[in-house]
Structure 1
Amino acid sequence: MNSVIISKAGGPEVLEYKELKLEDPKADEVTIKNHAIGLNYIDTYHRSGLYPLTLPSPIGLEGAGEITKVGSEVKDFKVGDKVAYCAAPLGAYSTHRNYPTKNLVKVPDNVDLETAATLMTKGITTFYLLHKTYPVISGEDILFHAAAGGVGQIFGQWAKSLGCNVIGTVGSDEKIENAKQNGYDHVINYNKDNFAEKVKEITEGKGLSVVYDGVGKNTFDGSIECLKLRGMLVSFGNASGPLDPVNVAKSIQPKGLYLTRPSIMQYTTTREELDEAANKVFEMASSGKVKVKISKKYSLKDIAQAHKDLESRVLTGPAVILP
C-alpha cells in the first residue's frame, strides 16, 4: 500500500508519501481499496497540530472504496461491497487500508464512490446541523458562513429544500454567484460589508434564531451580534483560526444565548445514528435535492498541493483525492 503520514506537525510540507506493508484485517475490520478520498479542513487541523496527534501518524478521515478482505468476525459486510467512512481511525490518505466495520456504511448503487467520498463528512455535517443541533423550520431565516465552500454548497441546497430563507457569507465577490447557485437567497461579502448589519437589514431588525459558523475566530463577534433573544450560535469549525476564550458575561448573557460546539462523532455514536445520517445524505444526493460538483481532483502524491489550495481558499467546491 501507499500512504501519507506525518512525523511532525506543521505546514503541507510535513505530509510524507510512503510505501508501507498492509497487515491482514483484525477480526472486526475489513480491508478497503480506496477509490476516492475526501479533502476536509479537519485534515489540516490534524496536520498543523491544532488537533494534536500521537506522531508519527497516518492522516485523513474520509474515503470510499471497495472491500477486498473481511475479518473473521465480520457479518454485515462482504468482499465486493461499496463502502464509505468519515471517522477515526485516521488513515484515509492511502491506496488501501484496514477499517473497523462499526464506523462503516454501505454506498447505494446509484451513488458513485467519488461523490460518496466528498459527501460523507460534508453531508453528515449538514444533516446534523439542520436536523439535530438546531432543527430548522420552513420559512426560518438562517445564516451560514463560508457559503461557497464544500460544506456551504451542500448546506445551502439542503436548507433551501427545507424551505428556509438562507443567508450566506463569502470572502470575495467572485464567490457570490457560486453561493446563489447553491440555494442562498442573500449572499454577503464579509470582507467588504459588515455582515451583522446586513443581516439586520435582511431580517428587518429581528435578527436570527441560529447562526452556523465554521469560520471561527474572525466571525464570532459578528455572529453573536446577528442573533435574536435566546438565539443559538452553532460553532463547528476554525477556518480562520481557533476561537478566543469566550467571555460569557459579555457575549452570551445579554441576550440569553445558546452556544454549542458540535462534531460528527457526537451525532454518530451508535450504528442507528450513523445509518440514519448516511442514508439521509445518500437520499438527498440520489434525489437531486443536493447536487455535488467536484471542483478539483488531486493525485495522492500531490496531497501537499491539495492542502495548500484548501487553506488558501482557491477551491470553488468539494475536492477529491484519487489514490
Structure 2
Amino acid sequence: MRAIQFTRTGGPEVLEDVDLPTPEPRPGQARVRHEAVGVNFIDTYHRTGLYPVKLPCVPGGEAAGVVEAVGEGVTAVKVGDRVAYSGGFGAYAEANCVPADRLVKLPDGVDARLAAAILLKGMTTEAFVRRTYPVKAGETVLVHAAAGGVGQIMTQWLKAIGAEVIATVGSPEKAALVRELGADHVILYRQQDVAAEVRRITGGKGVPVAYDSVGKDTFEGTLASLARRGLFVSFGNASGPVPPFPPARLAAGGSLYLTRPTLFDYVVTSEELADSAAAVFDMVSSGRIRIEIGQTFGLADARAAHEALEGRNTVGASLLIP
C-alpha cells in the first residue's frame, strides 16, 4: 500500500511517499481501507518532534473508510461496515489497522469525507464546550482562530447552544467567513488589541472562558481577556508553544484557571467515544453545524498539506484522498 512516512523529525520535507506492506489485523483489530484522511495540527507536532513519536512513523490519527478485514475476537464491526476513527497513528496511508472498539460506525447521510473532516475536530469541540467548561446560553466566549477547522465547528456549536461568540481571525476574508457562521463579534488579531476589544465588548468584565489553539502569539492577549476566575483553555500551538510563566500570573489576572486538555482524555471508554461521536453527528445531521472542507490533497501531496496548514493558508478542514 502507499503511505506517507517520516524517519526523522523536521519540516514538511521529511514526509516521504513510500510503499509499505498492507498490515494484517491482530486480535481485537480491524483493517480500514481509507476513503478520506483528516489532516490536523497535531500531525505537524508529531512531524516536528514537538510531541515525540517512535520513528519511523506514519502520521495521522483520523480517517474514514470501509472495514475490509477483522482480527480474532472482533464483534464490534464487520467487513463492509462504514466507519471512522480518531486517535493513534498510521492514517496517512491507503489502509490502517486499528482497535475495533475505537471505530465509530457512520450513520446514513454521513459520507467518508465528511466523517474524516469532522470526527476529531467535532469531538474536540464537544468535549471542550460541554465538559471542559459547560458553556451556558447567554455566556460570552472567546474563540481564537475561528476560521480554522476546530474554530469553525466551535463557533457554530456555541451559537447553537445560545452563547455569544467573540471570534479572532487573521484576515478580513476569514472575518467574513466567521460572521457567516454566526460569530457576534470578530477581531483581527494581527491588527487589533484582542484584550482591549474583548474588554470593550464585555463592558470591561472579560470572558468566563477562552479557547486558544494559537499558542505563543495569543497567550498574553488571552490571559488579559479573561474575567475574574475565568478559564483559559489552551489546546494548540499554531504559532509555537506557550512560553513558561510563573503561576502567580494566574493570581494577578484574577484567580484565573488554565487547562491543557486533549480529546483522548475525554473519550477513554467506548461509551464516552460513542456518546461524543453521536453528539457530533447529531449536530451535523440537524443542520446546526455546517462543515466546510476547504482543501483536499492527494495522499502523495501530504507535504503540501502541511505547508498550507502551518502557513495558516487553510480554511476549514483539510483532507488527504488516497
Q: TM-score range by the shorter chain?
A: over 0.9
Aligned counterpart, 1:16: 16
Distance in 2 (alpha carbons) for counterparts of 1:130 and 1:164? 10
Instruction: Report the counterpart of residue 104 of structure 2 in structure 1.
Output: 105
Are 1:93 and 2:92 counterparts?
Answer: yes
1:231-288 C-alpha deviation (Å, 9 max, x unpaired):
1001111111011112111234541111100001110111111011000011111111
Which one-letter code corresponds to 2:52 in the other structure? P
1:152 matched to 2:145: no
The CA deviation string for residues 100-158 of structure 1, in whole angstroms up to 9 with x for no partner, is: 11321111121111000010111001101110000000010000000111111111111
What secondary structure is seen at the aligned counterpart in 2 of 1:147? coil
Task: Give me the whole-angstrom Cα distance separating, in 2, the residues matched to 1:225 and 1:120.
Answer: 32
SS in 2 for 1:310: helix
CA distance in structure 2 between the aligned counterparts of 1:277 and 1:51, rounded to whole angstroms: 25
Matches of 1:17 and 1:162 in 2, distance apart? Answer: 43
1:193: Cα distance to partner?
0.5
**Hey, what does 1:320 align to over in structure 2?**
319
Question: Matched residue of 1:98: which SS?
Answer: strand
Looking at structure 2, the residues matched to 215 and 156 of structure 1 have their Cα atoms a distance apart, in angstroms, of: 16
Quick check: 1:225 aligned with 2:224? yes
Contact 2:223 2:253 in 1 (8 A): no
Residue 8 (structure 1) shift = 0.2
> What is the letter of the counterpart of residue 65 of structure 1?
G
Matched, 1:59 2:53: no
SS of aligned partner of 1:45: helix
Match of 2:239 in 1: 240
Residue 81 (1) aligns with residue 77 (2) = no
1:1-323 maps to which residues of 2 (within 5 A)?
Answer: 1-88=1-88, 90-323=89-322
| Separation of aligned partners in 2, 1:161 and 1:320 | 26
Taking structure 2 as the reference length, the TM-score comes to 0.98
The CA RMSD measured in Å over matched residues stands at: 0.9
Look up the equivalent residue of 1:82 and give its one-letter code: R
- Structure 1 vs Structure 2: percent identity of aligned residues? 46
Structure 1: state its 5+ residue gaps: none
Moved more, 249-258 or 215-224: 249-258
TM-score between the two structures when normalised by the length of structure 1: 0.98
CA distance change for structure 1 residues 252 and 50 in 2, over 3 Å: closer, same or farther?
Answer: farther
C-alpha deviation, 1:13, in angstroms: 0.6
Give the 4+ runs in structure 1 shifted more than 3 A. Answer: 251-254
What is the CA–CA distance in structure 1 between the aligned matches of 2:292 and 2:279, rounded to whole Å?
A: 19
Distance 1:253 1:104, change over 3 A: farther
The offset of 1:319, in angstroms, is: 1.4
For the residue of structure 2 that corresponds to 1:63, the secondary structure is strand
Q: Secondary structure at the match of 1:218?
A: helix
> Secondary structure at 1:259's aligned position in 2?
strand
Aligned residues between the structures: 322
Measured in 1, the distance between the counterparts of 2:102 and 2:225 equals 37
> In the aligned structure 2, how far is the partner of 1:239 from the partner of 1:216?
6
Supply the distance in 2 between the matched residues of 1:236 and 1:306 (Cα, whole angstroms): 21
What is the alpha-carbon distance in structure 2 between the residues aligned to residue 286 and residue 131 of structure 1? 19
Stretches of structure 2 that go unaligned for 5 or more consecutive residues are none
* CA-to-aligned-CA distance 1:175-212 (integer Å, 9 cap, x gap): 11011111211000011110100001100111110001
Preserved CA contact (<8 Å) 2:179 2:186: yes
Q: Could you report, residue by residue, the CA deviation over 1:26-78 in whole angstroms, capped at 9, with x for unpaired residues?
A: 01001110000001000000011111111111110100000001111101100
Q: What secondary structure does 2:224 align onto?
A: helix
SS at 1:44's partner residue?
A: helix
Whether the aligned pair in 1 keeps the contact of 2:6 and 2:58 (CA below 8 Å) is yes
Contact 2:92 2:299 in 1 (8 A): yes
Q: Secondary structure at the match of 1:221?
A: helix
